[in-house]
Amino acid sequence: MRAMFASRLVWIGIAMLAAGALLPLFASGYVLGLLTVAFYTAVFAMSWDLLFGFAGEVNFGPTFLIGLGAYTAGILDARLSPHISIWLCVAAGAAAAVIGGLLLALPALRLRGPYFGLTTLVAVLLLQSFIVVFAGLTGGEIGLSVPDVMSIDANTNYWIAFGFMAVSGAILFGLSRSAVGLILQASGQDSVQAGALGFNVVKHKLAAFVVSAFFSGLAGALMVFYMGTASVGTFVDIAVGVQVIIAAILGGRRTVVGAAIGAIFLISMGELLRPLGELATLIVSFIALLVILFFPDGLLGILRGGARS
């Protein structure tokens, strides 16, 4: 059963990959731009799922890690523009997210349940306050514009984002199905028993946090060089984190692939319903609520259930 589930996920993944890679041949620049953002969000959601779905830790502050990556990369580029490659900035962004993630996780992992969640939430609020207070460096509430972008071609940007999502997805998925992933899952469900079996629960959770931070920061940094700006509203605000969490649970927690589906679904729905104005968010939230109430396994669960019956 487990093997069947895994193989079906792999097939869904391969079908999505094929469809995604060929899309620029048919789709307009508008659709590609939309999906580019959706793919970065998908990486945010997959990283979050590794931490929640497997390690069982509710991280309310995915945007702390995303924001650290995005702003570190953005500030470096804005300060040292012609003398620094954007890829170096991206690497620095990912490194900053990992360091920040470690600083947050080392003490926070001692806490359980809602307390861990709240610490991560507070980390976001603090980061947001600091960005606003040090407006000279960070651009404050207006946002930071970055002199360099990866590419101005919609197709190139799309392929970079798509490739990045595919590679990160494969790594995260592989990790979740590996022995480490199983230990994580065991620690998430019953950390005392996992510890009694001789696994170092804290070490594994810390590793999960670091991996999650790495991919979140990397995706945040790359997205800065796609958008050309970094602002609180797109990278740090709690609303962004909420969207990441909803995407992961909506798509189907504990699947990694589901998180990506959820993110793409959320972003596309939001855009499709945009003509409705303020009602768009209302309807998307309502659909997400219905899915959570009636299909706790998420969109991927619906897909799986439909395919099996």
Residues of the shown chain interacting with other proteins in the complex, contacts defined by CB under 8 A: 52, 56, 58, 107-108, 110-115, 117-119, 121-123, 125-126, 129, 132-133, 189, 238-239, 242, 245-246, 249, 277-279, 281-282, 285-286, 288-289, 292-293, 296-297
Rounded Cα distance between 190 and 251, Å, is 24
Smaller CB distance to other proteins: residue 184 or 246? 246
Rounded Cα–Cα distance for residues 50 and 28 (Å): 33
In 3D, which of 212, 226, 233, 300 has the Cα closest to residue 261?
300
Instruction: Kindly calculate the radius of gyration of the chain based on its CA atoms and give it in whole angstroms.
Output: 19
Identity of the residue, 112 or 203, whose beta carbon is nearer to other proteins in the bound complex: 112
Q: Which is nearer to other proteins, 52 or 215 (CB)?
A: 52
**Taking a C-beta distance cutoff of 8 angstroms, is the pair 243, 235 a contact?**
no
Beta bridge pairs of residue 144: 230
Q: Are 58 and 117 in contact (CB under 8 A)?
A: yes
CB of 230 to other proteins, least distance (A): 20
Indicate the residue among 80 and 126 with the shorter CB distance to other proteins: 126
Nearer residue to other proteins within complex by CB, 60 or 215: 60
Assign 144 to helix, strand or coil: strand
DSSP state letter for 139: -
Q: Is 229 helix (H, G, I), strand (E, B) or coil?
A: strand
Provide, rounded to whole angstroms, the least separation between the CB of residue 115 and other proteins: 5
Residue 193's SS3 state is helix
Nearer to other proteins, 87 or 286 (CB): 286
Q: How far apart are CA 263 and CA 251, in angstroms?
A: 7
